[in-house]
Amino acid sequence: MWFLQERNRHAPISGPMLAMTAKFFYKEIIKKVDFVVMAGEKLSNDAF
């Protein structure tokens, strides 16, 4: 929901912002702090 609201506002969403928000919601919903954010690999166009 947060993501869609921000996109509807045309707000830029960076990777670090998305990771921070995911960690926040995990902590609020699951009530644990064991969520680990990892940087993903970028796929080339040849991967598909």
* Rg of the chain taking only CA atoms, in angstroms: 14
Give the DSSP per-residue string, 2-35: HHHHHHHTT----HHHHHHHHHHHHHHHH-----
CA distance 34 to 32: 6
Whether the predicted pLDDT of 5 surpasses 90: yes
CA distance 14 to 36: 17
pLDDT the model gives residue 47: 46
Average pLDDT over residues 6-13: 92
- Does this model's pTM top 0.75? My answer is no
